[in-house]
Amino acid sequence: ALLVLISCLIFLVRRNIIKLKRFSGTEMTAWPKSDANYILIVEILLMTAFLMMNAADHQLQLQNNPHYIRAGTFPVSGLFGSMLFLSTQNLILLERFCWWFHITGIFAFLNYLPYSKHLHIVLAFPNVYFSNLTPQGKLNNMASVTPEVMAIIDPNFTPPPAETILRFGVKDATDLTWKNLLDAYTCTECGRCTAVCPANITGKLLSPRKIMMDTRDRITEIGRNKNQHDASFTDEKSLLDDYITREEIWACTSCNACVEACPVNINPLEIITELRRFTVMEESKAPQSLNNMFGNLENNGAPWKYAASDRLNWMEEN
């Protein structure tokens, strides 16, 4: 309890006095900052109550109170107990008050947990357990597109029966996989991903932490709307544009630095990639530089603007 108390005090100082850079950002508005402080303050109060309860209990044991039998030593709380110059009745009152405050505070905090970023203490383990173990630089192929590509490459390939495709890529949070949503709710908002993001470091709008926070906010809003109305209700909003801008997703360099830095194996790049796929495959709204490359791939089979037959010309002497 003493170590937790000291740690929480250190974390409060880091957030509010030292003000580490990664704890700030456009996404760190009043609520995310307050949420972190509330968590630390509550933990400080709970640990203080725990120590004072044991301190009073220890003093009552030393007084040979019949209700407080000797149950062992309290090396830390005993130090505080020696400073409690209270009557027996007041010691009992203090011990009972701290006991009830501690247990009531724990149950109250458990009810606050689902609305707080501290939910990661529940979701971190399953999120790490279900992490993708494939190499991080490997992008997932789209199952709906792979048969068409295979048919072009291999004339003998027999494509499976065509399925009805609702959407290529991701436009809204409901298009994401369950693992993407688990990632969003597991996010601790620590900012390590944003701190190492080369796009963010160079002044671009992208913040991987904001991607995860926006995804969580959007899916929470969708659930709230369905509870207030019905399952078919739509609010004419989407994750793309209303929460995450196109400038953000195209600022990403796909370097996986954010994925490497995350302590609980969250993958913001998967969400960014799927949002990009939607803009390219559904809306044909890729940046002009990419459109030029797509045209070269279609016409020349390579990103460069020359025919495939000229690929080896660089080897020839003039």
- CATH number for the domain harbouring residue 221: 1.10.1060
Evaluate whether residue 191 is within a structural domain: yes
Instruction: Return the pLDDT at 317.
Output: 67
Task: Work out the average pLDDT over 56-81.
Answer: 71
Same domain, 104 and 151: no
Evaluate whether residue 102 is within a structural domain: yes
Same domain, 142 and 242: yes
pLDDT category, 316, cuts 50, 70, 90? Answer: confident
Instruction: State how far the Cα of 55 lies from the Cα of 58, in Å rounded to an integer.
Output: 5
Instruction: State how far the Cα of 165 lies from the Cα of 143, in Å rounded to an integer.
Output: 10
User: Of the ranges 91-100, 219-228, 309-318, which one carries the lowest mean pLDDT score?
Assistant: 309-318
Instruction: Return the pLDDT at 68.
Output: 65
| Other CB atoms within 10 A of residue 223 CB | 11
Q: Which two tokens stand for residue 199?
A: 């796009």
Task: Work out the average pLDDT over 152-180.
Answer: 84
CB 159 within 8 A of CB 150: yes
Domain boundary among 85, 115, 145: 115
By C-alpha distance, which of 242, 130, 233, 138 is closest to 183? 130
Query: Which of 54-63, 243-252, 294-303 has the highest mean predicted lDDT (pLDDT)?
Result: 243-252
For residue 11, the enclosing domain spans: 2-115
Same domain, 205 and 159: yes
Q: Which two tokens stand for residue 156?
A: 């003998």
Instruction: Return the pLDDT at 95.
Output: 83
In the predicted model, is pLDDT for residue 69 greater than 70?
no
Average pLDDT, the chain: 87
3-state SS, one letter per residue, for the chain: CHHHHHHHHHHHHHHHHHCCHHHCCCCCCHHHHHHHHHHHHHHHHHHHHHHHHHHHHHHHHHCCCCCCCCCCCCCCHHHHHCCCCCCHHHHHHHHHHHHHHHHHHHHHHHHHHHHCHHHHHHHHHHHHHCCCCCCCCCCCCCCCCHHHHHHHHCCCCCCCCCCCCCCCCCCCHHHCCHHHHHHHHHCCCCCHHHHHCHHHHCCCCCCHHHHHHHHHHHHHHHHHHHHHCCCCCCCCCCHHHHCECHHHHHHCCCCCHHHHHCCCCCCHHHHHHHHHHHHHHCCCCCCHHHHHHHHHHHHHCCCCCCCHHHCCHHHCCC
Same domain, 11 and 160: no
Taking only the tens place, the pLDDT of each residue in 96-117 is: 999 999 999 999 999 999 989 9
Q: Which two tokens stand for residue 261?
A: 């830095």
Percent of the chain with pLDDT over 70: 93
Same domain, 9 and 48: yes
- What total number of domains does the chain contain? 2
Evaluate whether residue 305 is within a structural domain: no
Handedness of CA 60, 62, 67, 71 (dihedral sign): positive
pLDDT category, 181, cuts 50, 70, 90? Answer: very high
Q: Which two tokens stand for residue 130?
A: 């279900």
Residue 244 pairs in a beta bridge with 240
148 against 244, higher pLDDT: 244
Taking only the tens place, the pLDDT of each residue in 77-91 is: 766 666 677 777 888
Instruction: Return the pLDDT at 206.
Output: 95
pLDDT category, 178, cuts 50, 70, 90? Answer: very high
Same domain, 185 and 295: yes
Same domain, 140 and 281: yes
Query: Which of 25-39, 69-83, 299-313 has the highest mean predicted lDDT (pLDDT)?
Result: 25-39
Evaluate whether residue 88 is within a structural domain: yes
Same domain, 165 and 232: yes
Same domain, 184 and 99: no
